[in-house]
Each structure stands twice: as C-alpha cells, then as structure tokens.
Amino acid sequence: MRAPIAARAGRRSNASWRWPMSGRQGEEGAGQCAGRVTLVGAGPGDPDLLTLKALRALEAADVVLYDSLVTAEVLALARRGAPRICVGKRAGRPSCRQDDINALMGRLARDGKHVVRLKSGDPSVFGRSAEEMESLKAAGIAVTVIPGITTASAMAAGAGVSLTRRGAAQSVRFITAHGAKGGLPDDLDWAGLSHSATSLIVYMGARTSAALARRLIAAGRAPSTPVLVATNVSRPDETRCAGILGDLAEGRLAMDPASPVILAIGEAFAASDAVGTQEGVPAPQAQAIGRT
C-alpha cells in the first residue's frame, strides 16, 4: 500500500514563472485562497499529443498530482523541481481514495501552491473531474480544466478509422464497463448500445469484455459486428487486435488486463488497420482475426 498521500507532498519549490490566471495571492476574491488547481488532460500517453495549454500549465506547476496511467514522458515535462505525487487508481490494486485526493489538492492550494492535477486522457471522460471540481469549489478554491485528447480519438487516428463513418455510424457512445462493484455497471442502456448504427467505445473493459459482448448479443447486436481492441494507445508498445463481437464474447481476442485497454465496437471499425502506424510510433504488434 502507498503511504498516505498527504505525507508525500514535499516542500514547495519556487516556480520560474507563474501560470497567468487571476486569483493568486493578493488577487483572490473574498473567500478564496491564494493557490489554485488546474485539472489537466495528459492525453493517452504520447507527449506530442499534449495541448500547448497543458504544457504551459505543467511548466508553471508548483506540484503535480498525477494518475497511474500518465506516462513518464509526459510527467517529465513538468517544471523542474516541482514535486510529483502519484494519486492513481487502478482496478484490483491498492489505490488512493478520492476523498484523500480531494483533501490533498485543497491543502496544497491553501498553502498557496498552483496544483496541477494531471489526468490520463481527457479529465471530463471518466476522470472524476466533477467530484474534484465540486470539492474544490465548495472549499473556495479556484479550479480550471484543460481538456486533453481522449483515448478513443487517438485509437481511431492510429487505426485509420472514423468514429462516425458515414453510412456506418450515426452516433458514438462512450461507456465504462467497470462498475462500482467491479463487474459490469447495473444500469447500462443495453437496447441503445446494441443499435447497429452506433459506434460503441468501451473504457476500462478488459476484465468484463466477454460478459459485455454476451449482453450486447443478447440485446440484439449482431455477433458479426466488427471489434477493435487497442492496448497502450499512442505508446511505443501499442497493440491492436481486430475481430468480431462473437470472438469477444468467447474470449478469443487478446488483451492484457494489466494495461490500459479500450474496445471499439461497430460497423465503423470494419476497415480498421490493425497493423497500421502513426507518426513517431512503431507498427504495433497485432493479432488480426477475420470476420465470418
């Protein structure tokens, strides 16, 4: 187990320049503290996919609280001397409690620090940004959000597909397949998810992928529906595995539950490039399973 995260904050380092936002010491409004928090989207892993605004926030950070899935290459872009504290959550592993993360952000901000809360992908997509913003605002701490490239977009770019391919997809739905009890969420809209003209993107679904596929088929989605499984998207060790929903239901598509996995289900992925490349990333290893 990690030590209590509040004990790992370390000393404040002097920033070479400050993030140019109102509300620092001497400027804050009534009831607000001198410090502030910026929720920053780190993207799927490739540091070249960071936004300029995210980079500037990292360069101005007094302290960085980062998720487990943030890559070392992205973390290295933070201001030299700024403490880096892992507050990650991983299924089946010892993780920081959300209440502890909220409390640590608040304490550091009240000490006058510019806290960068660095989240994998985009903070607003299954990133618990709402809970963190609500906690900070309730404490009178200024908070802003810098969006990042979500893994679904990077996956589509690397595989050479469009999430909304004309004639194949009229909508895109993002879901998590990891519920509060560890299995599939209890309240998924199976009828809507099974619509043939929907591109379905599944986050955190490695451990429940077979059960998810069986429920989709039972709700009417064709077993021949194309599926793309991508692991470590945009990173040098990215892998892709192509197949069909029936393969997924029977556990025949390779994936590593210990790595970040995203599933793409729908007719838009029929033309996916399971062994395609993207600039700066080697051709991923892949297991291509043909449709039947």
Annotated active-site residue in 46, 48, 53, 89: 89
Dihedral angle of Cα 101, 95, 78, 54, to the nearest 10 degrees: -70
CA-to-CA dists, residue 195 to 92, 154, 159, 170, angstroms: 32, 24, 23, 10
CATH code for the domain of 29: 3.40.1010.10
Residue 83 is classified by DSSP as: -
12 has pLDDT over 60? no
Q: Assign 45 to helix, strand or coil.
A: coil
Residues 161 and 92 grouped into a single domain: no
CA atoms within 13 A on the CB side of 277: 6
Domain boundary (130, 146, 162) is at 146
Residue 173 is classified by DSSP as: E
Q: In the beta sheet, which residues pair with residue 230?
A: 240, 262
The residue ranking higher by pLDDT, 228 or 288, is: 228
Query: Can you tell me the distance from the alpha carbon of 14 to that of 22, in angstroms, rounded to the nearest whole number?
Result: 19
Residue 157 is part of which domain span?
Answer: 151-288
Task: Give residue 94's pLDDT.
Answer: 65
Residues 93 and 64 grouped into a single domain: yes
Any idea which residue has 């393969």 for tokens? 247
Domain boundary (146, 172, 194) is at 146
Query: Can you tell me the distance from the alpha carbon of 150 to that of 169, in angstroms, rounded to the nearest whole number?
Result: 19
Residues 160 and 283 grouped into a single domain: yes
Task: Give residue 92's pLDDT.
Answer: 58
Annotated active-site residue in 67, 122, 247, 273: 67
- The pTM for the full model equals 0.81
Residues 283 and 251 grouped into a single domain: yes
The residue ranking higher by pLDDT, 288 or 189, is: 189
181 has pLDDT over 80? no
Question: What's the rounded mean pLDDT across residues 252-261?
Answer: 88
User: What residues have CB less than 8 Å from 52, skipping those under 6 apart?
Assistant: none
Residues 125 and 110 grouped into a single domain: yes
89 has pLDDT over 90? no
67 is catalytic: yes
7 has pLDDT over 70? no
174 has pLDDT over 90? yes
The residue ranking higher by pLDDT, 3 or 159, is: 159
Residues 155 and 137 grouped into a single domain: no
| H or E element at residue 229 | strand 226-231
User: What residues have CB less than 8 Å from 187, skipping those under 6 apart?
Assistant: none
The total number of structural domains that make up the chain: 2
Residues 192 and 136 grouped into a single domain: no
Residues 78 and 193 grouped into a single domain: no
Q: In the beta sheet, which residues pair with residue 64?
A: 84, 116
Dihedral angle of Cα 206, 210, 216, 221, to the nearest 10 degrees: 100
User: What residues have CB less than 8 Å from 142, skipping those under 6 apart?
Assistant: 21, 23, 28, 32, 36, 37, 136
